[in-house]
Structure 1
């Protein structure tokens, strides 16, 4: 039995995102870029109010939306970062046991959003970032 087109498309798109992120991060495989992208997404989710979580999720393609929302709860503890470095440290803590530190990881994931999403969707994510992370968003 064949997979529905939307499932195949979502899978292909996710692999494309992970490949492009791996190239940007200068890592060897999507086994490195995929989990690191997930870490950025989950830490971002933890850093914004619930209404912003939904705004960001709705800007993402289906599979990335699922990754972003995986395990999310309405009562999830929130902790807005006070500096970009603090946020990046928290992201790295999520992958430390399995992956080396990529100093540009957060900016690379934000770059990916800018490259892969239509401008209005990327703008929606940017609008919902904690203010302290604005400096990590790529310049237009």
Structure 2
């Protein structure tokens, strides 16, 4: 029996993503790196309508997809009027264990954009809230 590509390479993919983010954001540990990635994905999910959540989830690698959906209960859509609002919510989500590194939202967007296949990256970009899409476009 063969394993699907997503399953076979799941550990390699998350390790590659963590290493890239750790280096890009100059984070000290894998635990901090993972917490920042998870926090970002959960804050993003809270700001997307249901169809967009499915789009993002369908275009993330297997482990990252699992993290994206972890502990999800559909709830009211949170607004994202600007980057500061998103980053304040992300900082609150990371506390008390991790103090949010400066620029981590841009670093995670860069990570998703550069580590994803172009087709997947384009699909994710198409559903981002506008303040995050602007950062994506500059990454």
Provide TM-score, normalisation by structure 1. 0.90
Q: CA RMSD in A?
A: 1.9
| Cα deviation digits, residues 33-73 of structure 1 (max 9, x gap) | 10111000000000010100000001100010010011223
5 Å matches for 1:34-53? 34-53=34-53
What is the aligned residue count?
137
Provide TM-score, normalisation by structure 2. 0.90
Cα distance in structure 2, aligned partners of 1:9 and 1:117: 14
Flag structure 2 segments of 5+ consecutive residues without an equivalent: none
Cα distance in structure 2, aligned partners of 1:120 and 1:7: 19
Change beyond 3 A, Cα 1:14–1:76:
same
Change beyond 3 A, Cα 1:120–1:4:
closer
Q: Contact conserved, 1:110 with 1:138, CA < 8 A, in 2? A: no
- The match for 1:94 is 93
SS in 2 for 1:122: helix
Q: Contact conserved, 2:18 with 2:34, CA < 8 A, in 1? A: yes
- The match for 1:113 is 112
Measured after TM superposition, the shift of residue 7 of structure 1 is: 4.2
| Cα deviation digits, residues 15-50 of structure 1 (max 9, x gap) | 111111011110122111101110000000000101
- The match for 2:14 is 14
Q: Contact conserved, 1:111 with 1:138, CA < 8 A, in 2? A: no
Cα distance in structure 2, aligned partners of 1:110 and 1:54: 18
Measured after TM superposition, the shift of residue 132 of structure 1 is: 2.5
- The match for 1:104 is 103
5 Å matches for 1:18-29? 18-29=18-29
Q: Contact conserved, 1:107 with 1:138, CA < 8 A, in 2? A: no
Cα distance in structure 2, aligned partners of 1:54 and 1:4: 20
